[in-house]
Amino acid sequence: MESIVFLDRSTIGPSVTISRPDFEHTWTEYETTDSSQIIDRLSEATIVITNKVPLRKAVLEKLPDLKMIAVAATGFDVIDIDYCAARGITVSNIRGYANITVPEHTLALMFALKRSLVGYREDVINGEWEKSGQFCFFNHSIRDLAGSTLGIIGKGRLGESVAKLAEGLGMNVQYSGFKNPEDVPEEIRNSPEAMSGLVPFDEFLETSDVISLHCPLTAGTRDLLGMAEFQKMKRKPIVINTARGGLVNEADLVSALDMGLISGVGFDCLTSEPMAEDHPFKTILDRPNVIITPHVAWASEEAMQILWDQVVSNIENFSEDTPSNVVC
């Protein structure tokens, strides 16, 4: 009989129905788990569910009964994939569940920043409307999305879903070419679909009014945007990140905002979550052209239920020797 342990239930919203696999098993779940508790809690586990609790070699090698890791997310950087592959531990992740929620959040950030909604809301609260003495006032820039150029970094499902919404609004969409073409994996380089229509990276930076990131965090994409890139952004774009913390050098982004190289920031993913006290963004949180959300772009109630149902499906498929969404 399988022993299933869910390490971090609190990372899935309380409205989600936590169904369980349809086979005989024992079930243990914890709201949160810190690093000192992992080995004890998984000592007899054969299947573990984790969202953000890391499972590295030093922990995994002390869990001889573990057969499967069900990651309750798309990203699996918290798992030592090489060790799992070497030991025959199956790792499955979640795919395709966020194709509505993340693009909608991305567009919401675009609308709010382009139309200065945060600034005008604060002005109304602070009595600026009354001070103006007329039916409206113009303390902040208001720009249309229609007719502007959206630059997307990442041509996967999420990037393409954002593009579809943006095109419906009348935006011109372009996809970024690779910053370092020599680092492009061979399977992507040899894919006409993946490589078609990409704008050279420097041209992409120069011609985008909004830049939105939808790519994974890898050694090749870490600090993809830094000061050298911001200095090439001739249109002073809004920069939006609903993908992964680490894709943008956050200290450089603050400097770029101060220097007027970019016109706004909409981030849902940071290098430290929650935000550390010394995080560079702490100095810009109160600005009307900055919106930081707490990694919730993925978390519509509908999307979280789809995610959980897929977690259970991955576990059931593993138990039937037909594993799905296999990472390794």
Place of tokens 């869910």: 6
Give CA–CA dist 177/198, Å, rounded: 5
Catalytic residue set:
244, 273, 295
Give CA–CA dist 29/283, Å, rounded: 38
Over the Cα atoms of the chain, what is R_g? 22
Sign, Cα dihedral of 108, 261, 290, 78:
positive
Give CA–CA dist 328/325, Å, rounded: 9
Residue 225: HSE in the Cβ half-sphere, 13 Å Cα cutoff: 33
Beta strands in the chain, from DSSP E residues, in sequence order = 2-6, 25-29, 47-50, 68-71, 90-92, 149-153, 172-176, 198-199, 210-213, 238-241, 264-267, 290-292
Question: Sheet of 198-199: strands edge to edge?
Answer: 198-199, 172-176, 149-153, 210-213, 238-241, 264-267, 290-292
- For 258, the enclosing helix (H) or strand (E) is helix 250-258
Q: How many Cβ atoms are within 10 Å of 25's Cβ, its own excluded?
A: 15
Q: Are 45 and 3 in contact (CB under 8 A)?
A: yes
Please choose, from the candidates 134, 147, 177, 154, the residue with its C-alpha nearest in 3D space to the C-alpha of residue 74: 154
The set of residues, in sequence order, having a beta carbon less than 8 Å from that of 178 and lying 6+ positions away, is 184, 198, 201
Give CA–CA dist 242/102, Å, rounded: 7
Q: Are 317 and 323 in contact (CB under 8 A)?
A: yes
